[in-house]
Structure 1
């Protein structure tokens, strides 16, 4: 599911979104060279449309251009993922702070309803996974910051890179119950309009995820973090 702001309208939009999805999900492998001719045939659109999509993907940092090589899907590494999480910790912490100030009571109520809907998933011991877009807890808070620059940086670049890393490195569904409890605490702080606390809780939430991902990637057992 796409965020409301990303509804495909034109053929170019649809091609961009489809190509981005294929890259994020690993259907087009990281490090792969992107051939306009080949993609044009596979996607059934003109080379001009593919060229535009590649340019947009470059601005999302999912594609890079190298001299004498051309456009390639970015390569993934553990170090790169950790760097992204460091940036994400700072920016999403700020988003949570701003959300506590700017989110409307209705938006906060909707966020609580989202958590209620997730409760049964956690209770049943299933993977705690949020769909991209409207149903995603983090997207809602980012949008709730009402800061267009922050929204653009996180949702148009960093978030898709992180999703690509997590999908292709098999990092989906970590820290099921603990992550849900942390989400509840963050929403409570936002509901109480405690901006500083909301930022601290979100930063800690992202940091715990980063540390557990790092342990998993290095083959060490994940640390169970006890919720406050």
Structure 2
């Protein structure tokens, strides 16, 4: 294997490793990423490591702080609310396009995700399976839109920030139940290929999620 190809493979691997550690909270918000320490910990050279950090920066999971080095992003309430406003508009459109373009197999996949979520809720006191199923449900809807610009913006630029927030703030059981029902309604709209209804359901779903965040934080 060529040296360049090897470095790209190592860069992708370390990007995924660091990304998951940041999203899951193993590397805490605000933590400074030390290149020497990370290079030693993961037995990797500086080249692939720096490429991984650049990729993490493009995902907005880390940022350069003047005289503070590279630090893990700390999500503040105003930023979270901004993300949800963006999601409301863009995911609403993605849902409408998904109703037009989704395949029968795509609908079946969403139903399967809901089945997994329902089983998890039944054994976890009503908690939605946030880390994988909830966000992946939205991910699959967005992918089904067929619009590459929407897919890039939502699934690459915002996806991991949303997952990061979900790990930090689990839904209350009451909101989990409502979110699950809203997902069910969306699948029905997609199955019926009703673009207008799918967009309306998705927008209201995200508005309610944002309002729930604001309510929890105020209390």
TM-score by length of 1: 0.84
Q: Does structure 2 conserve the Cα–Cα contact (< 8 Å) formed by 1:130 and 1:137?
A: no
Name the counterpart of 2:5. Answer: none
Alpha-carbon spacing, 1:74–1:113, altered in 2? closer, same or farther (3 Å)? closer
Q: Once the 2 structures are TM-superposed, how far is the Cα of residue 183 of structure 1 from its aligned partner?
A: 0.5
Q: Once the 2 structures are TM-superposed, how far is the Cα of residue 132 of structure 1 from its aligned partner?
A: 3.0
Name the counterpart of 2:94. Answer: 95
Is 1:182 paired with 2:182? yes
CA distance in 2 between counterparts of 1:86 and 1:27 reads 28
Give the gaps of 5 or more residues in structure 2.
1-7
Q: Does structure 1 conserve the Cα–Cα contact (< 8 Å) formed by 2:99 and 2:190?
A: yes
- Structure with the larger helix share: 2
Name the counterpart of 2:38. Answer: 39
Name the counterpart of 1:116. Answer: 115
Name the counterpart of 1:61. Answer: 60
Is 1:106 paired with 2:105? yes
Q: What secondary structure is seen at the aligned counterpart in 2 of 1:136? A: helix
TM-score by length of 2: 0.87
Q: Once the 2 structures are TM-superposed, how far is the Cα of residue 205 of structure 1 from its aligned partner?
A: 0.4
Q: Once the 2 structures are TM-superposed, how far is the Cα of residue 39 of structure 1 from its aligned partner?
A: 1.1
Name the counterpart of 2:199. Answer: 199
Name the counterpart of 2:3. Answer: none
Q: Once the 2 structures are TM-superposed, how far is the Cα of residue 133 of structure 1 from its aligned partner?
A: 7.5
Q: What secondary structure is seen at the aligned counterpart in 1 of 2:158? A: helix
Alpha-carbon spacing, 1:33–1:114, altered in 2? closer, same or farther (3 Å)? closer
Q: Does structure 1 conserve the Cα–Cα contact (< 8 Å) formed by 2:63 and 2:73?
A: yes
Q: Once the 2 structures are TM-superposed, how far is the Cα of residue 78 of structure 1 from its aligned partner?
A: 1.4
Name the counterpart of 1:216. Answer: 216
CA distance in 2 between counterparts of 1:73 and 1:131 reads 19
Q: Does structure 2 conserve the Cα–Cα contact (< 8 Å) formed by 1:182 and 1:205?
A: yes
CA distance in 2 between counterparts of 1:179 and 1:33 reads 35
Q: Once the 2 structures are TM-superposed, how far is the Cα of residue 199 of structure 1 from its aligned partner?
A: 0.7
Name the counterpart of 1:154. Answer: 154
Q: Does structure 2 conserve the Cα–Cα contact (< 8 Å) formed by 1:171 and 1:213?
A: no
Q: What secondary structure is seen at the aligned counterpart in 2 of 1:65? A: strand
Q: Does structure 2 conserve the Cα–Cα contact (< 8 Å) formed by 1:134 and 1:140?
A: no
Q: Once the 2 structures are TM-superposed, how far is the Cα of residue 15 of structure 1 from its aligned partner?
A: 0.4
Is 1:142 paired with 2:142? yes
